[in-house]
Structure 1
Amino acid sequence: MDPASPRSPERFIADFFTEFTAAALAADADPAEVVDRFHAPEVVQIADGIRLDRDRLVAHLRPMRKNLRDYRFEVHEVIADGARMAARLTIHATMRTTGTVATEVFLFGEFTPDGKLRRADQLTRPVAA
């Protein structure tokens, strides 16, 4: 998180995921450029035991574009310690084939000074939509 930012940690997390998702869904946006705009080059994201590096994140955007129809991030709480954050949020999403789903996310992340995600460990679970 940018230390000079006036945003609260909750607003930072909400903005990060909302802006990243909007950019990722833009039909004319290059997936690699989108990932690089929001993630450090050495990014590692582990979600439910699945490890994604930069290349796998770029590959993940293609099916996301095809399947995600609508989304909203509900940030419940965030604890920040400098560049590190722990957050609990719910992703509300409407998918092309499965309809509306809600996923609670427990995130432990580290951000660069300019607000890019460097590392994230996430546990998720489905919740009532």
Structure 2
Amino acid sequence: MATPDFHAFLTRLPYELAFSQDDPASIIDRYYTPDVRYHNNGITLDRRRLIDHIGPARRTTKGLEIEVHDTLVEDGRAGARYTMTAVTRKDKVIKMEIYLFARYAADGRVERVDSVTRPIG
């Protein structure tokens, strides 16, 4: 199995999604397998829905800060507790605490995510 860079998944991926000029599908394909299932707060996103989510994020996000508090990576699985603070173009601050568990494929990309997100502050 390829060694996943879980910290990059948590920190670099959101910046790429929000601010990169790269094609959204190429970003998703760098980090996720084609059959990815992303479960968050009872909603399941597949590859297409993840890609569709990028457009609105790019239009509304002005700033982003991610603080990783705890991680654990072992045997193709990873877990984290982190805080994400986003600033919209209208200067609204959105702060979330995220608990995320990921399962990696043999090629080092994420094939499944289970997460819970809650607003804070």
User: TM-score over 0.5 for the alignment?
Assistant: yes
Which residue type is aligned with residue 20 of structure 1? Answer: L
Which deviates more, 74-83 or 117-126? 74-83
1:86 correspondence with 2:79:
yes
Q: Secondary structure at the match of 1:62?
A: helix
Structure 1: runs of 5 or more not aligned: 6-11
Equivalences for 1:21-32 in 2 at 5 Å?
A: 21-24=14-17, 25-27=19-21, 29-32=22-25
Instruction: Indicate which of 32, 46, 60 corresponds to 2:53.
Output: 60
State whether residues 30 and 109 of structure 2, in contact with CA within 8 Å, keep that contact through their aligned partners in structure 1: yes
Alignment RMSD (CA, Å): 1.8
When normalised by structure 2's length, the TM-score is 0.88
Q: Percent identity?
A: 32
For residue 70 of structure 2, the aligned residue among 77, 82, 86 is 77
The 2-side partners of 1:77 and 1:31 are apart by 28
From 7, 30, 33, the equivalent of 1:37 is: 30
8 Å Cα contact 1:13-1:75 kept in structure 2: no
Shift of 1:47: 0.7
TM, length-normalised to structure 1: 0.83
Give distance in 1, aligned partners of 2:47 and 2:2: 21
CA contact (8 A) 2:80 2:99 kept: yes
Q: Number of aligned pairs?
A: 120
Aligned-partner Cα distance in 2 for 1:78–1:56: 26
1:119 alignment partner, one of 92, 104, 112: 112
Q: CA deviation digits over 1:74-107, x for unaligned, max 9?
A: 1111122211112111111112236112100011
Runs of at least 5 residues in structure 2 that lack an aligned partner in the other structure:
none
